[in-house]
Chain A
Amino acid sequence: MTSPADLSVVDPELSAEEARFADLIAADSRIEPRDWMPDAYRKTLIRQISQHAHSEIIGMQPESNWITRAPSLKRKAILMAKVQDEAGHGLYLYSAAQTLGITREEMMDQLITGRARYSSIFNYPTPTWADMGAIGWLVDGAAICNQVPLCRASYGPYGRAMVRICKEESFHQRQGFEILLELMQGTDAQRQMAQDAVNRWYWPALQMFGPPDDQSPNSAQSMAWNIKRFSNDELRQRFVGMLVPQAEVMGVTLPDPNLRFNEETGEYDMSEIDWTEFEEVLAGRGPANAERIRRRREAHEDGAWVREAAHEYARKQAERELAGAVA
């Protein structure tokens, strides 16, 4: 809450609109599309929300890879529902970004020409069915950990989109946990497959929280603007703390020999993360970067006739209606 003391902090040199923005942020209130906002705030949000939207859309690919080969009709139906959700999440987020003054077309163009970033986690391949479990449990789990605080992001449309997304993500994480649990209760080969998937996805999932706090240049400003609520390292710690008991239930081993609870700090000690790999994947040299963008571009171009037909149909219908009204 804003107390008179807080208000006195506001710089007297600020213009009326700057002061109003500062007051709203200080009061932990929300900024809405028609409010005045600093250019840097708008730019940061456009970048973050569009990258987030792109991640949802590109994230459909590693999973849709397994729809035709899901081990049962039930699993196929679940996977299709999940991939459909990812498309929905992308659309909620594109809509939120559009309220800031960027068009859908611009964002799509940035994505398919390789100028936009998306979560580097989706540049890893999904060679086995157990990867569907590991993605749900670890990747969606990390995403939820990141996204729950974003429901309170200071930009109203972003927060509202995140509320819908978080509700739906919890199904994603649970179904992933269940896939791995069933494999762990299966044959030796199935258990091995589950463990192998966890080994491959664990570190990339921890990297999803972003670089360590002392190397995260934009974090402080995002936190000052109430877009970000917790630091990268805080969220990463929280996530590991949740994973450990879940891994025990499942019977998988988390691939970090130095992972142990520290009684003094009340947190888990862990190995150093290999950030060189993260940087490589981020720079576009991950295992599947080129493939993901190529498929996204093809889907966009191959779908052009559908968009054109819908547009043309709408135009003709409107014309006919107009002609009917005149006659």
Chain B
Amino acid sequence: MSTPGEIGTEAWPLWEVFVRANRGLSHVHVGSLHAPDADMAVRNARDLYTRRNEGISIWVVPADAITTSDPDAKGAFFESPAGKNYRHAVYYTKSEGVKHL
């Protein structure tokens, strides 16, 4: 699947930017930008997405390297968990009032 914004006529490739706010946390997607190469993408991401100490680490990923599930097949693709609410703790109500459960 092509990535939105990844249009053949854009002069520079699209990069998705992920920032780790602190040690112990995951890198989280914060947005995207266009840059001629990976080094410039990291520098631009620093200027664009971390002007207020938002992060201690940045990943940039070429948008066209990301494979996604098909949004139109959303229903079918994620069907398996439907109706399986016994996978959640709240399904089990008989232990209500019993401590540490």
Q: How far is the CB of B50 from chain A (nearest CB, A)?
A: 11
The answer, yes or no, to whether A3 is at the interface (CB within 8 Å) is: no
Q: Which residue of the partner chain, among A34, A103, A314, contacts B7 with CB atoms under 8 Å?
A: A103
Inter-subunit contact B10/A35 (CB<8 Å): no
Q: Chain B interface secondary structure, helix, strand, loop or mixed?
A: loop
The answer, yes or no, to whether A295 is at the interface (CB within 8 Å) is: no
Given contacts A32-B71, A33-B4, A310-B40, contact A95 B31 (CB under 8 A): yes
The answer, yes or no, to whether A148 is at the interface (CB within 8 Å) is: no
Chain B residues lying within 8 Å of A200, measured Cβ to Cβ, are none
Given contacts A105-B9, A160-B31, contact A313 B48 (CB under 8 A): no
Chain A residues lying within 8 Å of B32, measured Cβ to Cβ, are 95
By beta carbon, the residue of chain B nearest A95 is B32
A303 to B40 Cα, complex, angstroms:
16
Q: Chain A interface secondary structure, helix, strand, loop or mixed?
A: helix
Count how many chain A residues have C-beta atoms less than 8 Å from C-beta atoms of the other chain: 30
Inter-subunit contact A92/B5 (CB<8 Å): no
The answer, yes or no, to whether B64 is at the interface (CB within 8 Å) is: no
Chain B residues lying within 8 Å of A72, measured Cβ to Cβ, are none
The answer, yes or no, to whether A88 is at the interface (CB within 8 Å) is: yes
Chain B residues lying within 8 Å of A84, measured Cβ to Cβ, are 47, 51
Question: Which of A91, A313, A317 has the most C-beta atoms of chain B within 10 angstroms of its own C-beta?
Answer: A91
Inter-subunit contact A317/B37 (CB<8 Å): yes
The answer, yes or no, to whether A48 is at the interface (CB within 8 Å) is: no
Q: Interface 1/0s, chain A 82-104, versus B by CB < 8 A? A: 00110010011001001111011
22 contacts between A and B (CB under 8 A): A32-B71, A33-B5, A34-B4, A81-B51, A84-B47, A88-B48, A92-B31, A95-B31, A98-B10, A99-B4, A100-B4, A103-B7, A103-B9, A105-B9, A161-B31, A168-B52, A310-B37, A310-B40, A311-B12, A314-B36, A314-B40, A315-B36
**Sample of 16 more A-B contacts, CB < 8 Å, known A84-B47, A313-B37:** A33-B4, A33-B5, A85-B51, A88-B48, A88-B51, A92-B48, A95-B32, A104-B11, A160-B31, A307-B11, A310-B35, A310-B40, A311-B12, A313-B36, A317-B37, A318-B37
A-to-B contact residues, CB < 8 Å: 32-35, 81, 84-85, 88, 91-92, 95, 98-101, 103-105, 160-161, 164, 168, 307, 310-311, 313-315, 317-318
